[in-house]
Amino acid sequence: MAEQSVPRRRVLASLAALPLGAALLRFVPARAETGTLAATPACDDDPTPKQTEGPYWTADSPQRNDFTGDGAPGIPMKLTGTVVDTACTPVPGTLLDFWQCDGNGVYDNEGYKLRGHQYTDANGAFGLTTVKPGLYPGRTRHFHVKVRRPGGEVLTTQLYFPNEPANKTDGIYRPELEMTVAANGDASFTFVMEK
């Protein structure tokens, strides 16, 4: 009986040790992964790609973050987000100059409808209340924006909507510039600027 009980205890001890050993093995890489994630929270190390300005930018846009008063046709939506550097540090005071067509695909090239600039707040955040841009020949749905961090270069780029059929046929479209769009139609994007 004693001969049976000793091996049985050893077996039990081994069984008990295995999950602990396995747990420890899992614990080490899990901590390492957590550390890596903490160093790069929710942002991409790659700078946001540049894109063509296109023909419709107008200088000297008004400072504002709400285009509602323009009365432009289109589905109301908000575009929010953050500007960070390649170390994922928010960049306050960054200029964002947005311009876009209305819901019918028409730009205001005479005045400043659906055009405006703003600056990121202390947390690097921005927000724009506007309408969903429409489609016009040759282009998928997009926003235009110029982004300039304090003392930095101007980044001219465009933002796109996911699951837009015309993304497949627009040669300028890039998937890295897709916004995240919520069920209610509001969109968000994180700009990553060169340090």
Residue closest to Fe ion, measured at CB:
54
* Per-residue binder mask for Fe ion (CB under 5 A), 29-58, x = binder: -------------------------x----
Name which of 65 and 140 has its Cβ closer to Fe ion: 140
- Minimum CB separation of residue 102 from Fe ion in Å reads 11
Q: Which amino acid is at 138?
A: G
- Minimum CB separation of residue 161 from Fe ion in Å reads 13
Q: Are 164 and 147 in contact (CB under 8 A)?
A: no
Name which of 54 and 92 has its Cβ closer to Fe ion: 54
Q: Give the total of residues touching Fe ion (CB under 5 A).
A: 1
Longest CA–CA separation in the chain, Å: 98
- Minimum CB separation of residue 100 from Fe ion in Å reads 7
Residues 51-90 that bind Fe ion (CB under 5 A): 54
In this structure, which long-range contacts are made by residues 173-180, counting pairs with CB atoms below 8 Å and at least 24 apart in sequence?
173/140, 173/142, 174/49, 174/51, 176/44, 176/46, 176/48, 176/49, 177/48, 177/49, 177/51, 179/79, 179/81
> Where on the chain is the footprint of Fe ion (CB under 5 A)?
54
